[in-house]
């Protein structure tokens, strides 16, 4: 019985203690954003050039 009481005491004390907020710095994603934009631009440019080549040969 005393084991149950002490476990309840621990739980109630843990519930009453304020939660500690862990502050972590988030990494900067600017480089990732630029890389994705460059890759997207390359893909779009490639598709446009291939489409223009297709139109030029079949026109």
- Please provide the DSSP assignment of 23-54 as one string: P-PPPP-HHHHHHHHHHHHHHHHHHHHHHHHH
Neighbours of 36 (CB within 10 A): 11
pLDDT (tens digit per residue) in 12-43: 766 676 667 788 888 899 999 999 999 999 99
Residue 39 inside a domain? The answer is: yes
Q: For residue 59, is it within any domain? A: yes
Whether residue 5 lies inside any domain: the answer is no
Q: Does residue 3 fall inside a structural domain?
A: no
Q: Which domain holds residue 40?
A: 29-59
Tally the domains of the chain.
1
Q: Is residue 18 part of a domain?
A: no
**Confidence (pTM):** 0.53
Residue 43 in any domain: the answer is yes
């Amino acid at each position: 019985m005393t084991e149950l009481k002490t476990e309840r005491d621990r739980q109630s004390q843990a519930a009453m203690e304020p939660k500690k907020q862990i502050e972590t710095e988030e990494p900067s994603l600017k480089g990732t954003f630029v890389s994705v934009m460059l890759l997207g631009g390359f893909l779009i440019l490639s598709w446009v050039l291939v489409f223009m080549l297709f139109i030029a040969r079949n026109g």
